[in-house]
């Protein structure tokens, strides 16, 4: 396949599919299909959750699961790669040279070999054996999915692009994604903060497009809570249990409010690795918050919406983690704003692009429990602030975070770069 013989299918390479924490990706695929794009999903691993969001059922795209383990997947990976090498030895050797040029930067050498083999499997098994008429490949996240995307695009002779999010760019040496930027037709990212970082880190003139993820505004109506919040106040957080979310800062802020006599109940939705869950539970016990904290674990998107309709304030304590990891704009922040739940958060990364301090929410510096306690308390008890922030936040989300409009913008970016859209 050559660039002049491009097929009509847009291939999406994902770390895993479906994933409960990546509603924004499934929504993107669903809406791109509605625009007329024909999509085939390549997932680097099988689903690990026992349930998925309802929106997954609306996606028509077929899914190819790539062998995720060298231990168990090696026979299939080697067989398809040997067949591909026999079919196109020169192109395969070019891809091996590309992998070799990047190999010294790899912290885990065996994974980069696996990514090359997964790319070969994708091309031989899906495109050549099963006849997927691939015209363009797009990777979600700039690290491993885009590595597979880049190799597969070279082997298939098609252009590629990728979306950079947060952890995938901030926790790795920029040299490990700079060559991907240069080889890609274009790059998409989800905040202006990311856009500036990528341009500066790569020194590139390649197109880098900022398109917010957006949310489905049809799902969010003004919650049924009275404009005047009454005690005991209900504070809500929805977050993965990872250091960048600053859950420890939130718990310490709530302990300060409890000590000041503010009646609260706190719902912490999410999950994480065993050690992170243990650290959170230990801190809750240390602070004496057991009676006011509820931890339902990971829940469906519909259940998150129900919790938003019961909340008086939504809070996140986002920070830049020690490894550089940080959030972009968590979609749940926009969801809270769309539901009429005022947001208390931190001045980190892309958050100020949506939450303007004093206008559409309140922000403070990260790692400052006293400051976070102050802005949570203000959003719970200062009626003029609530009266101003709640409608302004809803208006802002409806103006700049409507995923139907944003996906049209994204689709038009694809089309402007000659990505096939057979249903257009």
pLDDT computed for residue 262 by the predictor: 98
The whole-angstrom separation of Cα 55 and Cα 351 is 26
The whole-angstrom separation of Cα 103 and Cα 112 is 7
313 membership: H or E segment, kind and range: strand 313-315
pLDDT computed for residue 222 by the predictor: 79
Chain centroid to Cα 81, Å, comes to 31
User: Collapsing DSSP states into helix, strand and coil, what is residue 234?
Assistant: strand
Q: 187-230 pLDDT, tens per residue?
A: 999 999 999 999 999 988 899 999 999 999 999 987 767 678 99
Q: 252-299 pLDDT, tens per residue?
A: 999 999 999 999 999 999 999 999 999 999 999 999 999 999 999 999
Residue 108 has pLDDT above 70, yes or no: no
pLDDT computed for residue 2 by the predictor: 44
Considering Cα of 113, then 174, then 195, then 167, what sign does the dihedral take?
Answer: positive
For range 399-406, the mean pLDDT:
95
Residue 5 has pLDDT above 60, yes or no: no
pLDDT computed for residue 178 by the predictor: 92
Question: Can you give 108-141 as a three-state secondary structure string?
Answer: CHHHHHHHHHHHHHHHHHHHHHCCCCEEEEEEEC
Closest CA to 419 of 2, 10, 4: 10
Question: Band of the pLDDT at 4, cuts 50, 70, 90?
Answer: very low
For range 105-115, the mean pLDDT:
76
pLDDT computed for residue 90 by the predictor: 97
Question: Band of the pLDDT at 3, cuts 50, 70, 90?
Answer: very low
Residue 245 has pLDDT above 90, yes or no: yes
CB under 8 Å, gap of 24 or more: what pairs does 86-94 form? 87/124, 87/128, 88/155, 91/154, 91/155, 91/157, 92/120, 92/155, 94/154
Residue 96 has pLDDT above 90, yes or no: yes
What are the residue ranges of CATH 3.40.50.2000 in the chain?
3-214+403-416, 217-400
- The fold of the 217-400 domain, in CATH, is Rossmann fold (3.40.50)
Whole-number mean pLDDT of the chain? Answer: 93
Phi and psi at residue 194, in whole multiples of 5°? -65, -40
The whole-angstrom separation of Cα 138 and Cα 146 is 8
The whole-angstrom separation of Cα 423 and Cα 391 is 38
pLDDT computed for residue 49 by the predictor: 66
Residue 30 has pLDDT above 60, yes or no: yes
Residue 398 has pLDDT above 80, yes or no: yes
Class of domain 3-214+403-416: alpha beta
pLDDT computed for residue 374 by the predictor: 98
Helical pair 331-339 and 301-308, crossing angle rounded to 10 deg: 40
Residue matched to tokens 């037709």: 185
For range 110-132, the mean pLDDT:
94
Q: 174-186 pLDDT, tens per residue?
A: 988 999 999 999 9
For range 343-366, the mean pLDDT:
97
Residue 56 has pLDDT above 90, yes or no: no
């Amino acid at each position: 396949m050559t660039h002049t013989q491009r097929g009509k299918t847009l291939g999406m390479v994902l770390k895993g599919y479906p994933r409960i924490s990546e509603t924004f990706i499934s929504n993107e695929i669903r809406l791109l299909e509605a625009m007329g794009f024909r999509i085939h999903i390549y997932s680097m691993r099988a689903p690990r959750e026992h349930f998925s969001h309802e929106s997954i059922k609306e996606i028509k795209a077929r899914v190819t699961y790539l062998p995720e383990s060298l231990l168990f997947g090696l026979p299939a990976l080697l067989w398809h790669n040997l067949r591909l090498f026999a079919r196109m030895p020169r192109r395969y050797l070019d891809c091996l040279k590309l992998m070799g040029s990047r190999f010294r930067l790899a912290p885990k050498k065996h994974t980069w070999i696996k990514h090359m083999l997964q790319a070969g499997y994708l091309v031989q098994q899906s495109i050549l054996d099963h006849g997927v008429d691939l015209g363009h490949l797009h990777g979600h996240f700039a690290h491993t999915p885009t590595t597979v995307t880049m190799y597969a695009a070279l082997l298939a002779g098609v252009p590629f692009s990728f979306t950079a999010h947060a952890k995938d760019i901030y926790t790795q040496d920029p040299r490990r994604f700079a060559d991907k930027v240069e080889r890609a037709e274009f790059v998409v990212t989800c905040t202006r903060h990311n856009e500036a970082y990528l341009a500066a880190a790569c020194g590139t003139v390649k197109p880098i497009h900022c398109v917010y993820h957006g949310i489905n505004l049809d799902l969010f109506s003004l919650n049924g809570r009275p404009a005047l919040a009454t005690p005991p106040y209900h504070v809500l957080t929805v977050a993965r249990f990872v250091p960048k979310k600053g859950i420890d800062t939130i718990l310490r802020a709530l302990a300060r409010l409890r000590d000041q006599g503010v009646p609260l109940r706190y719902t912490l939705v999410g999950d994480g690795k065993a050690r992170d869950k243990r650290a959170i539970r230990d801190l809750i016990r240390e602070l004496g918050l057991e009676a006011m904290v509820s931890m339902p674990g990971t829940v469906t998107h519909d259940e998150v919406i129900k919790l938003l309709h019961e909340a008086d304030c939504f809070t996140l304590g986002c920070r830049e983690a020690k490894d550089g990891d940080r959030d972009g704009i968590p979609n749940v922040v926009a969801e809270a704003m769309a539901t009429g739940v005022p947001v208390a958060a931190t001045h980190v990364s892309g958050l100020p692009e949506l939450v303007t301090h004093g206008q559409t929410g309140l922000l403070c510096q990260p790692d400052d429990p006293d400051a976070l306690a102050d802005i949570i308390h203000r959003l719970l008890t200062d009626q003029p602030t609530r009266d101003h922030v709640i409608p302004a936040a809803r208006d802002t989300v409806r103006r700049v975070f409507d995923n139907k409009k944003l996906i049209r913008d994204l689709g038009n970016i694809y089309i402007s770069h000659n990505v096939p859209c057979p249903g257009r």
